């Protein structure tokens, strides 16, 4: 079973050679790269943010209801049971999500796309709705906004180094202009972060391998991922574990040859995988990564993680016929 390509942040910033990039994202790859030796603040930020998701997900219903945004198709703030399971067509209550627009990476004053972009795309509330932040009067959420923004900014900055390398690789092949992906990752006001809380299941009867999150591809250009934090809620809401108590639980990727591989991201690393918008832009030279999350049969175990979807602004063309707004809407409609 092949391991995902792993590089240091310094190697990434100095520039990867074509062989390494091909091994990471090429036709025989897993479509994912792991980045290690991150800034020292990453470890504590990851722990703080991922633990806080459990606090958020277990707020009383009346408080969670105030954090929902129906007009955004539940892609801003809290969402649970709004997506459907591909296997059954039933609402997905296996996980809860908290969506954050990352426009603050471009401008700290922004909580959503620029006013000009919002005016231009008034019917695209999934992306133009401003952020909703949870209350600060709850223990464990006092610094949630600050910590989440800082962690997302760090992930996007590493993602920018990924983008520079992808641009160099694609530029040599004449597929698109040299700085296309770097510009998107650096300047987009439509990049989304998704904090995920997979609820514990006491059932030991697993109906499918992808019972925590069904197989799908992201519609981003690239997606930055933290490693998952597993918690034993029988010992307290914030009792995190060194590793998953079930070695079969976690992230699985389907490679370019239809083989499935479990991918384990070390806790002190980030991973980046390719999405369908990049597949469109690169004319298929980069392929989106089909992946799913397998739950655990161990009782009382929850799983928290963070994904940052680096994606274009709504007016950016991703193919000959669709801008990102049209492309993303088509994908979202298939999930809800």
Tens-level pLDDT at each residue, the chain (336 residues): 568 899 999 999 999 988 898 888 877 888 899 999 999 999 999 999 999 999 999 999 999 999 999 999 889 999 987 776 666 667 777 889 999 999 999 999 999 999 999 999 999 998 999 999 998 999 999 999 999 999 999 999 999 999 999 888 777 666 666 688 999 999 999 999 999 998 887 655 555 555 567 777 787 889 999 999 999 888 877 788 888 888 888 889 888 888 899 999 999 999 999 888 888 878 777 888 888 888 787 888 888 999 999 999 999 888 888 889 888 877 666 554
How many Å apart are CA 24 and CA 327, to the nearest integer?
A: 25
Domain that holds residue 302: 5-335
pTM for the structure as a whole = 0.92
Decide: 110 and 155 in contact? Cβ < 8 Å.
no
Decide: 290 and 215 in contact? Cβ < 8 Å.
yes
Strand duo 260-262 + 229-232: pairing:
unpaired
Q: What is the torsional sign of CA 307, 134, 326, 182?
A: negative
Two structure tokens written together for 275: 């999405």
Q: In the chain, how many domains are there?
A: 1
Q: Residue 43: what are its φ and ψ, rounded to 5°?
A: -60, -50
Count CB neighbours of 205 within 10 A: 7
Q: What is the torsional sign of CA 320, 326, 327, 333?
A: negative
Two structure tokens written together for 321: 């016929």
Element (H, E) at 226: strand 222-226
How many Å apart are CA 93 and CA 83, to the nearest integer?
A: 8
Place of tokens 């029988």: 234
Residue 260 contacts by C-beta under 8 Å, 6 or more apart in sequence?
252, 253, 254
CATH code where residue 167 lies: 2.60.120.330
């Amino acid at each position: 079973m092949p391991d995902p390509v792993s590089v240091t942040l310094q190697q990434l910033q100095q520039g990867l050679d074509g062989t390494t990039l091909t091994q990471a994202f090429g036709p025989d790859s897993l479509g994912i790269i792991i980045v290690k030796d991150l800034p020292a603040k990453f470890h504590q930020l990851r722990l703080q943010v991922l633990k806080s998701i459990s606090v958020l997900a277990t707020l009383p219903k009346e408080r969670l209801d105030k954090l929902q945004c129906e007009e955004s198709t539940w892609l801003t703030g809290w969402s649970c049971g709004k997506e459907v399971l591909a296997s059954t067509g039933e609402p997905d209550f296996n996980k809860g999500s908290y969506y954050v627009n990352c426009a603050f990476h471009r401008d700290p004053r922004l909580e959503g796309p620029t006013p000009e972009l919002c005016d231009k795309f008034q019917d695209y509330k999934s992306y133009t709705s401003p952020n909703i932040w949870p209350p600060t009067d709850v223990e464990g959420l006092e610094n949630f906004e600050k910590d989440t923004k800082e962690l997302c900014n760090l992930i996007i900055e590493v993602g920018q180094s990924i983008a520079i390398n992808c641009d160099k690789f694609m530029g040599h092949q004449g597929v698109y202009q040299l700085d296309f992906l770097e510009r998107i990752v650096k300047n987009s006001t439509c990049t989304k972060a998704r904090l995920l809380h997979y609820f514990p299941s006491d059932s030991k009867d697993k109906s499918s391998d992808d019972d925590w999150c069904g197989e799908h591809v992201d519609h981003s250009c690239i997606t930055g991922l933290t490693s998952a934090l597993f918690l034993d809620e029988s010992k307290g809401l914030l009792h995190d574990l060194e590793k998953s108590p079930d070695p079969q639980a976690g992230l699985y990727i389907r490679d370019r040859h239809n083989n499935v591989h479990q991918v384990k991201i070390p806790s002190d690393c980030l991973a980046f995988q390719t999405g369908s918008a990049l597949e469109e832009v690169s004319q298929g030279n980069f392929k989106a990564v089909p992946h799913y999350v397998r739950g655990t049969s161990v009782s009382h175990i929850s799983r928290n993680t963070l994904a940052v979807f680096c994606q274009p602004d709504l007016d950016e063309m991703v193919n000959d016929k669709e801008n990102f707004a049209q492309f993303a809407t088509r994908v979202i409609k298939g999930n809800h």
